[in-house]
Amino acid sequence: MNLVIDVGNTRVKVALYKGTTLHYETIFLKKRIISELKKIKKEFVIDYAIISSVASLSVTSLDKIKNLFPLMQLGYKTKIPFKNKYKTPKTLGVDRMALVAAAVEQYPNKNVLVIDAGTCITYDFVDEKGVYSGGAIAPGVGMRYKALHTFTANLPLLKSDYPNNLIGNSTKNAIHSGVVNGVLFEIDGVIEQYKQQNQNLTIVLTGGDTNFLAKRLKNGIFANPIFLLEGLNIILNYNLKND
């Protein structure tokens, strides 16, 4: 059984796969990573593991995880099932690598745009020949709310919510309209630009804000909140086959 570990800024997402079939999934706080992984080790037989760490773990924590499982740490030198034409591969986020791997595996011979709506909103494009050139990085929903509060004197910090109207009739409603509609218009606009340049475009929406945004987007998309975890499993299996 494969164990895939995605370490974010504050939370860790973990999944177990038998081949390509999801067997188990959980989320917990980053500070509990060692204790939670020990629980998983007691409950399941783990053959191999892969870790993606956007927010870097300490060397001590990584060493402890390596002592628990045969661990692969995803990095720019890891073998990947697509051609990477990103000009600075050392700086390409490992989360984006996993998303592109999932796109190539699950939508072969297709042009795919993966939109990851998390802390940041990332756009990654892989063409029908499995060639990845890059994409874009923009502030996420939560980051936009925080920016309005942090960089102004009087605007409150709000939790994300759907605006009641395009025209906000109060400060709170105006913030919701500006942030949420701004994100939706941005995503729809980016999709339209990609559609104009690429025929038969498949769009995948993933990340923590998938469910929040999916129903409000105009363009047809495949919503998959665990696309990154699936990509990690794909990369792990790819390396096991090609060692």
Catalytic site positions? 95
Contact 234, 101 (CB under 8 A): yes
| Single-letter amino acid code for the residue at 77 | K
- Cross-strand partners of 73: 51
**32 backbone dihedrals φ, ψ, rounded to 5°:** -100, 15
Q: Tell me the residue type at 108.
A: P
Structure tokens at 7: 């370490």
Q: What CA–CA distance (Å, rounded) separates 39 from 45?
A: 11
Quick one: DSSP state of residue 162? -
Spatial distance between the Cα atoms of 113 and 213, rounded to a whole number of angstroms? 16
Distance CA 72, CA 63 (A): 12
Sign of the CA dihedral 22, 28, 33, 38? negative
Chain position carrying tokens 């060493």? 63
